[in-house]
Structure 1
Amino acid sequence: MGVATCSAIFGRFLSSRLLAPGTCRRHVACLSYACQCLGCVVLMFIGTSPALLCAGMILFGVGIGNATSLPPLIAQAEFPRHQVARVVTLIVAIAQDCYAFAPALFGGVRTLFNGPDSDLIALALAASIQAAAILVLISTRPHGKP
């Protein structure tokens, strides 16, 4: 977990460098989610390889460091000023629900698919969720400020 935490700090620092004025915040979020997704995929194939374990944790950590900061920044760029507070409040509420119930979801998946592949299925689900987030970000149009 220490590797993931250090990677999260690095990921946040990297994002701060990528978020120059005029940069599409959605693209930075896609990059962050792609790191998480790739980290999950790498973790699916660790076997007994410490190198793959470290690589997967680093990739996942780089992405997770921005999980709480990028969505409000996207809202700030895409919504009128008078709506930003409400939108950010909704983002935080939805994120907190996801953080609260994700362990139950993944625990349920591991229990449902009890066996040697249950961890792989849970990681595949996590990677799929990240891939879906990327697709939503690139396939929808920004709200746009008037």
Structure 2
Amino acid sequence: MVYLTRLEHFNAAHKLYNPAWSKEKNEELFGVCANENWHGHNFDLYVTIKGHINPETGFLFDVKKLSKLIQEHVIKKLDHKNLNLDVDFLQDKMCSTEILAMEIWKQLQRHLPMHVKLHCIKLYETPRIYVEYFGD
């Protein structure tokens, strides 16, 4: 089994806010991340796939094709967007980094060829905070 990771980057704004709660309760739990005027991050996205090497190419999967899939199905939908308002696959969901990583997995998994499996989504919100998701 070989593991291959591609790094991509996007910028996006969001806020952590539960509409069922009062403004005060949201601020108590989420602090400045509940700011009504949003806040932004420079996200680094690591997509790791796994599988067996094709003996004819020496590749697990063409990294240019992997980048194109990530760009088309994830980055174009997220980059310079408001995650709470602009992203179809995040509608009616809490826009935490944990949920974002899980939803990115769902976006990519269905577009990978059969011989390649998604292994991990690692999403850095800041240089010191990241989430890893390995599927259900």
TM-score by length of 1: 0.32
Specify which structure has the higher proportion of strand.
2
TM-score by length of 2: 0.34
